[in-house]
Structure 1
Amino acid sequence: MHIIDPHVHLLDLEVHRYPWMENSARNFLGDASAIKKSYLLPDLLADAGADLHVEQIVHVEANHDPADPLAEARWIQSLADAPQNRGLPQAIVAGADLSQENVQQVLEAHLALRNLRGVRQILNVHPSPMYDFVGRHYMREPLWRKNFGLLQRFGLGFELQIYPAQMVEAAQLARAHPDTTLILNHAGMFCDRGSPAGWRLWRDGLRALAACPNVSVKISGLAMLDHHWTLESLRPYALEAIDAFDCERAMFASNFPVDKLFCSYRALWQTYAQIVADCSASERDALLRTNAQRIYRL
């Protein structure tokens, strides 16, 4: 099976610092000790094995040291430039803190990297410490919103990692910046699953974002919130996201090595293929390959 994986994190603990790996507090991932180690291109390709042909990948910042986001992005570009890596990763989503006064200088430095396509700043905020990432509502801060406008000037997309309760606010942001591409990470991270109201919040939030033509969705990270997943437990979430965004603005992705806590790479992609087995051949190819290729300009 030929795939393009638009959400991969490479890690080199010998050179780089990842503060989340130093935090011993438990969160919704549970015991993450198994992935607190380096994960390099050979590891990803070994996980893919002979069954999957990974044509291209998008590297998304791995919650790297916020004091030096350029170090990670430059390292990823050096991997792409190395002849033995056949161009992998073909696209880079770098880290940038839009709440900082100097973020324009950071973005300008990122632009020197030929594979740069966008930036990510994790925005997940939640009343429960099990789910809260950042402890503040960045999208409500005037400086953050002002700096978000720089992305259009520089032709950069934004990776939108939020929870369902933040989706209406994110849709307002997308409408205010119609020329900036936003990509919803991990199908909106549906965490509050204990009630019909939680389902409606996620479902309606998806549709509020999907109503913005500049927003796409990555169906990934589902296992982070469903550790003992099955084909049938993932199917409704994947199909709901595809139904909201249609086959033209949805794409499957691995979120490896994070989701390696809960599944193998091959099992994950085989499950994706099974979920969309009843789609047309062109729709399956779009969801597994060509949408990512188009959206990330690979």
Structure 2
Amino acid sequence: MGATVCVTGASGYIASWLVKLLLRRGYTVRATVRDLGDSGKIEHLKTLQGADQRLHLIQASLTEEGSFDSAVRGCEYVFHLASPVLASSSASDPQRQLVEPAVNGTLNVLKSCAGAAPSVKRVILTASISSVIYTGKPSSPPDVPIDETWHSDPEFCASNGEFYPLSKTLAEQAAWKFSSENDIDLVTIHPGFVIGPVLQPYLTLTPKSMLKLITEGKPFFPTGIYRFVDVRDVATAHILAAENPEARGRYCVVSRVIHSSEALAIVKQTFPSLHLPPMSFGWWCYSSAGVS
């Protein structure tokens, strides 16, 4: 496409695929990372097709105001994906580890975008399905579909120890407020549980959690319900949200909703030689999904 765009948190799981697809489409990409000296986190980006000519790595920190100024200046689209990804149960200090960097980092990026006007035509924020579904109110009747009109309740998230959903919910709220006050064209993408090929030489949270389900039979979610989406579809959704002038508001990006035992049944069908563990709980079993 020839335009220059910015991708924050470029070494991440979704962001790496976004960078790859943007380069494939002819964009020049300014990719921000936390540490340019951490070769293990950025070398896979340098090997992408087109990286030699059109990828520029820039060091930036979510906690440092003005850190993204040079990265977004002159960009047509800014894709903000940088945010701490940590299971709520793993956070020893959720406010410091999850909430503050998510909210303040989002505001820091948007402030840089506001200062770079009018070159920045649109900001695409990677939110999460977790900023949609934690309402504290059961859907009634049960077949009512979850859609973009749903909003997670911060008080419900905090009281139930759901700090990652809390961080994504508060960051999205802050983004919409700042964007409306500063005339920024914002679109938010809300992916479900992201799976698919990994470009990095290490596993991030969701692929690692999927591996734990396969090896230990332990679901990531207490209900065992997964809202799966392929990482390549999520990256493509970001690009479409940028390029389509009619894109507006929030977009949930989910491909299929299934129980963890059904997911394991699919794994068993695909890789019959695997010795899968028994499910630790659930109303399904492999045989009920048509797999002996």
Q: TM-score normalised by the shorter chain: which range applies?
A: 0.3 to 0.5
**Bigger Cα Rg:** 2
Q: TM-score, normalised by structure 1?
A: 0.35
Q: TM-score, normalised by structure 2?
A: 0.35
